[in-house]
Amino acid sequence: TQLLEQSPQFLSIQEGENLTVYCNSSSVFSSLQWYRQEPGEGPVLLVTVVTGGEVKKLKRLTFQFGDARKDSSLHITAAQPGDTGLYLCAGASGSARQLTFGSGTQLTVLP
Amino acid sequence: KAGVTQTPRYLIKTRGQQVTLSCSPISGHRSVSWYQQTPGQGLQFLFEYFSETQRNKGNFPGRFSGRQFSNSRSEMNVSTLELGDSALYLCASSLSGHRNEKLFFGSGTQLSVL
C-alpha cells in the first residue's frame, strides 16, 4: 500500500509570512499533484509535477518534485488570507488511474 | 462550461439503509472517479469508470458499488449503511482518465448515517 505523509498537519501563520508544506513517501510516484480544498467544496488542482527534480512556480506558490520522485514540497511566499484552505498532495503510479492522497495540511493565514 | 455536478448535496440516512449518489461529469469527459473523504482517513479512492466500464477499484467492501451510463453520468450505491460510512463523497471527472490528466472535482455529497 502506498502512503503519502504530509506535514505539518495544521499551520496557522500571519499574513506576509512564508511557509512550506511537505509530502513524503517511501514509494516512487510517476507524477504528483497538489490540490487546494475550501470548506464545502471539492479539491481544485493547483499543479502536476512529473519529472524528478522538477520545479514549478504559480505566482507566489513554488512546487518541487524530489529527484527520486518520492517526495514533494509546496512553498508559499508572502501568504495571504486567500491562501487559507486544505492543501492536499496526491500521487499517481504506473498506469493506475487512481490517486493516493496525502492526509492534508490545513493552512490558516491570519490578516 | 458547467462543472461536475453532484446530487444530492446533503443526505441523512439510518444504519441498514441504502443510498444512491449521482454525478454528472463535465461535458465531453468520459472518465468518472469516486472518492470518500473523512477526517480520519482523508481522501480514499473508491472506483473509476470509463465508457460504462469499471477500470479500477479501491479497497472498499462490496457494499460500495457504482455504474456509469452511456452519457457518462455515474451513480454510486452504498448498501446496508454503517455509521462509519458517514463521509463526504466526491466525484471527479477527466477526459480519458490518464494519470496525469487534470481531475475536476464536484462539491460532493455529505452523507450522515445515524
Query: pLDDT tens for residues A21-44?
Result: 999 999 999 899 999 999 989 999
B97 and A50: CB-CB below 8 Å? no
- B residues 2-41 lying closer than 8 A (beta carbon) to A: 4, 31, 33, 35
Among A42, A44, A50, the residue with its CB nearest the CB of B108 is A42
pLDDT per position as a tens digit, A41-83: 999 999 999 999 999 999 999 999 999 999 999 999 999 999 9
Residues in A touching B90 (Cβ below 8 Å): 42-43
Instruction: For residues B36-56, give the mean pLDDT.
Output: 93
Closest residue in chain A to residue B96, using alpha carbons only: A97
The reported pLDDT for the residue numbered B81 is 98
Q: Residue A9: is its pLDDT beyond 90?
A: yes
Instruction: For residues A7-31, give the mean pLDDT.
Output: 95
Q: Residue B48: is its pLDDT beyond 90?
A: yes
Per the prediction, chain B carries an average pLDDT of 94
Preceding omega of A111 cis (within 30 degrees of 0): no
- Kindly state whether B98 is in contact with chain A, defined as any CB-CB distance less than 8 angstroms: yes
DSSP β-bridge partners for residue A94: none
User: Is-contact B31 A97, C-beta < 8 A?
Assistant: yes
Phi-psi region of A6 (alpha: psi -120 to 50; beta: other; left: phi over 0): beta
H or E stretch including A21?
Answer: strand A19-24
Give the contacts of B60 (CB within 8 A, at least 6 positions apart): B36, B44, B46, B47
Residues in A touching B31 (Cβ below 8 Å): 97
User: Is-contact B25 B1, C-beta < 8 A?
Assistant: no
Instruction: For residues B8-31, give the mean pLDDT.
Output: 97
